[in-house]
Amino acid sequence: MAFGIQLPITTDSISGFTNINDFKTLIKANFKMLILTNPGKVIRSPQFGVGAATFLFENRGTGVGPRLKNKIIQQASIYLPVIEVKDVIINEETEDSNAIHVTIKYVVPNLGIQDLLEFTI
């Protein structure tokens, strides 16, 4: 049983596109999509999205990390209430001065899932 299509889209010989076949992968993909989507890009839900990439262009001394962390927690509680965010670690001190590394620890209590979402924007 497929829950969705894996992003980025790839093909396989069984169903044509690589599918997401488990809840853990589906929730992680939806969480990442929520974080990377800019507000205003979803027509019927203009408040949807953290817009993480927009934080790259702000002055680093203006509390970018705490604001990004709060936005991630707020958006997850609204749009992915099955997720319980345990910790968000924002590392602005990366090798690339134009990047921010984000690590999010979260659980899905109803399914007994613990996971980690890491990415660099």
Q: 32-53 pLDDT, tens per residue?
A: 999 999 999 999 999 999 999 8
Between 9 and 42, name the one with better pLDDT.
42
Quick one: how far is CA 25 from the chain centroid? 12
Could you read off the pLDDT of 104-120 as tens digits, one per residue?
999 999 999 999 999 99
Q: Is the peptide bond before 8 cis (omega within 30 degrees of 0)?
A: yes
- Please work out, in degrees rounded to the nearest 5, the angle formed at the alpha carbon of residue 102 by the alpha carbons of 42 and 51: 20
